[in-house]
């Protein structure tokens, strides 16, 4: 009898839990009044951790695209953005990729900022037949290294970016380049293609220094590079490290021209260096600054109106366009993964978007990538073509 009583307690607890659980769950459902069928789209990116600024910027832009779509009266469906955090790690990336792609109610995904994460998950998307737009990862292999029909990418690859970067550098007359790059996939990838393209154009790498991304002291490396007297110090890595390099260059009184990759172009670089420190730094970005994009002004206005607490950052526009394209596809062929994949695969030719025309090639890679060289002027990143450096009013430190 006593034993029966001990059993009684857990059963009571379970009953209570189940009842309360049932009571809670219907309330949490979306009670949206629209009669349209709801279609889910996944957004996957680093929402926490060191890269969360860019991840949150991308997410906000994707939210904006969904918001716009839902306020378009002509649309047949109501869209819902399901957000997943990949923490920019392969393990979490795999988990959320599976979570998104295994949920049949999710039609497509806007995924990943980190290239390694994207490389780790493309198999999962392919297996699930899950149409995926890569919004921020730039490693070429993500689209070009496989035959997966489901993977698309609007931003250009590291190959394209560095081809243009090399051309830009050569055009400005920099011949001898000293290189620092971080040993992540990002830095290494950029360096590989930059070197290839620069050498094709007759440039010369006088020193190459790989550094750990968390290395604080770069004096030894910079001293060594400076001893080779380069025209330009080129750095491949993200903004915090870029800040470190530039700060230490300043401290060492190295006046050589400094140039970075797309990861450098954000507010952090300018705010940490101050207008004086960042003045004249060069970089090249995918697409163009939001303001000079075809639909940039409207995007910025809408973005501000939604009062997101984080800036869109460099890849926000791509996340917006990716989401928008996904929605267009669903509008055209309905919420069916296979049809959406097919549509994206075959029909995206010269489609107008806020970043200009988008065309997917046979790998699902946007064939018309747009790149803009940028220069930091008065504490702001501006397109080089529109800057006072172009007009000759100011002069780059190392320019001949």
Partner 1 sequence: MNKLIVLLSETVLFALLILFLIAESVSITILFIVAGFLCAAAVLIFPKKAERIIKPFAKERRTAIIFSMILMAILPFFFTTQPYWLLTLSLAGIYIMLANGLNMQTGTTGLTNFSGAAFFGTGAYTTGLLSVHLGLPGWLTIPAGMFASVLIGAILFFPVLKVKGHYLALVTIAFGLMFNIMLNNTDAIGGPQGISGVKAFAIGGFDFSGMWAIGPFIFSSYANNYWLTLLAAILALAFTRYIYNSPVGLILNYVRDDEWSSKSQGLNISYWKLIAFCCGNALIGLGGALYAHMIGYVAPDLFSFQTSLLLLSMVLLGGMDSIPGVTVAAFVMIVLTEKLRVIQDYRFLIFGLLVIIMIIFRKEGLIPSRVRPYFPKLKSVLMKR
Partner 2 sequence: MDMIGQQLMNAVMLGTMYSLVAIGFSLFFGTMNVIHFSHGDISMLGAFIALFFVPIITQYSVLGSVIMFIGAIVIVAVLGIFLSGLVIQPLQSSPQLYTLLATLEAGLVIREAIRLFYPGGKMSQKFPIIFPSGGFSIGGLTIRFDQLFILAIGVAVFVATVLIVNKTSLGMAIRAYSQDKEASMMMGVSESKVIAVTFALGSALAAIAGILHGTYYREVIYTMGLTSGIIGFSAATIGGLGSIWGAIVGGYLFAFIQTSVSAFVPGGSEYRDVIAFGVMILFLLFRPTGILGERQSERV
Instruction: Name residue 375's beta-bridge partners.
Output: 282, 382
Considering only 90, 95, 183, 292, the residue that binds partner 2 (CB under 8 A) is 183
In total, the chain counts a number of residues equal to 400
Q: Please report how close the Cβ of residue 209 comes to partner 1 at its closest, in angstroms.
A: 13
Q: Please report how close the Cβ of residue 251 comes to partner 2 at its closest, in angstroms.
A: 6
The smaller minimum CB distance to partner 2, of residues 194 and 360, is found at: 194
* DSSP assigned state of 376: E
Cα R_g (the chain), whole angstroms? 24
Using the rule CB under 8 A, give the single segment among 3-11, 232-240, 256-264, 302-310 that binds partner 1.
Answer: 3-11
What is the 3-state composition of the chain as percent helix, strand, coil, each rounded to the nearest 5?
50, 20, 30
C-alpha count within 13 angstroms, C-beta hemisphere, residue 57: 20
| 361 makes contact with partner 1 (CB under 8 A) | no
CA quadruple 302, 308, 313, 315: dihedral sign: negative
What residues from 303 to 362 belong to the interface with partner 2 (CB under 8 A)?
none
Using the rule CB under 8 A, give the single segment among 46-54, 105-113, 136-144, 151-159 that binds partner 2.
Answer: 46-54
Using the rule CB under 8 A, give the single segment among 86-94, 160-168, 274-282, 384-392 that binds partner 1.
Answer: 86-94
What residues from 133 to 172 belong to the interface with partner 2 (CB under 8 A)?
none
| 276 makes contact with partner 2 (CB under 8 A) | no
Give which of partner 1, partner 2, none residue 273 binds (C-beta under 5 to 8 Å, depending on kind).
partner 2
Considering only 75, 94, 292, 390, the residue that binds partner 1 (CB under 8 A) is 94
| 38 makes contact with partner 1 (CB under 8 A) | no
Structure tokens given for 17:
């839990």
Give which of partner 1, partner 2, none residue 20 binds (C-beta under 5 to 8 Å, depending on kind).
partner 1
CA quadruple 282, 286, 289, 293: dihedral sign: positive
Give which of partner 2, partner 1, none residue 167 binds (C-beta under 5 to 8 Å, depending on kind).
none
What residues from 229 to 248 belong to the interface with partner 2 (CB under 8 A)?
239-240, 243-244, 247-248
What is the spatial distance between Cα 390 and Cα 400, in angstroms, rounded to a whole number? 14
Q: What are phi and psi of 230, to 5 degrees?
A: -80, 160
Inter-residue contact 271 to 241 (CB < 8 Å): no
Q: Please report how close the Cβ of residue 89 comes to partner 1 at its closest, in angstroms.
A: 5
Give which of partner 2, partner 1, none residue 223 binds (C-beta under 5 to 8 Å, depending on kind).
partner 2
SS3 37: strand
Site for partner 1 (CB under 8 A): how many residues? 44
- Indicate the pairing of strand 371-377 with strand 380-383: antiparallel
Would you give the distance in Å from CA 61 to the centre of its chain?
11
Using the rule CB under 8 A, give the single segment among 39-47, 78-86, 112-120, 272-280 that binds partner 2.
Answer: 272-280
What is the b/e burial string over 164-174, where b = at least 16 CB atoms within 10 angstroms of the residue's CB?
bbbbbbbebeb
Would you give the distance in Å from CA 87 to the centre of its chain?
14
| 53 makes contact with partner 2 (CB under 8 A) | yes
SS3 8: helix
Structure tokens given for 396:
């780059």
Q: Comparing C-alpha atoms, which of 181, 261, 269, 253 is closest to residue 221?
A: 181
What residues from 148 to 177 belong to the interface with partner 1 (CB under 8 A)?
none
Q: Comparing C-alpha atoms, which of 60, 72, 29, 44 is closest to residue 330?
A: 72
SS3 127: helix
Give which of partner 1, partner 2, none residue 139 binds (C-beta under 5 to 8 Å, depending on kind).
partner 1
| 177 makes contact with partner 2 (CB under 8 A) | no
Inter-residue contact 46 to 303 (CB < 8 Å): no
Considering only 80, 250, 279, 386, the residue that binds partner 2 (CB under 8 A) is 250
Residues of this chain that interact with partner 2 (CB under 8 A) are 50, 52-53, 183, 208-212, 214-217, 219-221, 223-224, 227, 239-240, 243-244, 247-248, 250-253, 268, 271-274
Residues of this chain that interact with partner 1 (CB under 8 A) are 3, 6-7, 10-11, 13-14, 17-18, 20-21, 24-25, 28, 47-49, 52, 85, 88-91, 94-95, 98-99, 102-104, 115-116, 119-120, 123, 127, 139, 141, 183-185, 188, 210, 212
């Amino acid at each position: 009898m006593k034993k029966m009583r001990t059993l009684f307690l857990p059963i009571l607890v379970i009953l209570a839990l189940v009842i309360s659980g049932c009571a809670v769950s219907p309330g949490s459902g979306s009670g949206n009044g629209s009669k349209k069928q709801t279609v889910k789209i996944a957004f996957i990116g680093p929402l926490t951790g060191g890269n969360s600024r860019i991840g949150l910027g991308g997410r906000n832009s994707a939210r904006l695209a969904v918001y716009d779509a839902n306020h378009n009266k002509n649309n047949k469906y109501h869209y819902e953005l399901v957000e997943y955090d990949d923490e920019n790690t392969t393990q979490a990336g795999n988990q959320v990729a599976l979570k998104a792609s295994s949920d049949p109610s999710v039609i497509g995904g806007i995924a990943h900022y980190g290239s390694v994460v994207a490389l780790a998950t493309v198999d999962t998307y392919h297996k699930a037949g899950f149409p995926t737009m890569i919004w921020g990862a730039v490693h070429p292999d993500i689209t070009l290294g496989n035959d997966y029909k489901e993977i698309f990418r609007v931003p250009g690859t590291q190959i394209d970016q560095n081809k243009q970067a090399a051309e830009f550098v050569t055009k400005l007359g920099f011949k001898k380049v000293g290189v620092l790059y971080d040993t992540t996939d990002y830095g290494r990838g950029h360096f590989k293609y930059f070197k290839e393209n620069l050498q094709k154009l007759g440039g010369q790498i006088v020193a190459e220094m790989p550094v750990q991304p968390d290395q604080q002291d770069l004096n030894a490396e910079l001293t060594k590079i400076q001893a080779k007297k380069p025209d330009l110090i080129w750095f491949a890595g993200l903004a915090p490290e870029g800040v470190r390099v530039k700060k230490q260059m300043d401290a060492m009184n190295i006046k050589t021209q400094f140039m970075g990759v797309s990861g450098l172009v954000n507010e952090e670089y300018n705010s940490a260096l101050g207008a004086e420190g960042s003045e004249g730094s060069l970089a090249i970005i995918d697409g163009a600054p939001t303001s000079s994009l075809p639909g940039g002004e409207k995007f910025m206005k809408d973005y501000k109106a939604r009062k997101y607490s984080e800036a869109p950052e460099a890849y926000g526009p791509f996340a917006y366009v990716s989401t928008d394209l996904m929605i267009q596809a669903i509008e055209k062929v309905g919420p069916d993964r296979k049809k959406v994949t097919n549509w994206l695969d075959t029909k995206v030719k010269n489609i107008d978007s806020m970043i200009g025309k988008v065309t997917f090639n046979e790998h699902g890679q946007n064939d018309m990538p747009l790149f803009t060289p940028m220069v930091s002027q008065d504490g702001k990143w501006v397109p080089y073509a529109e800057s006072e450096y172009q007009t000759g009013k100011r002069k780059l430190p190392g320019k001949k």
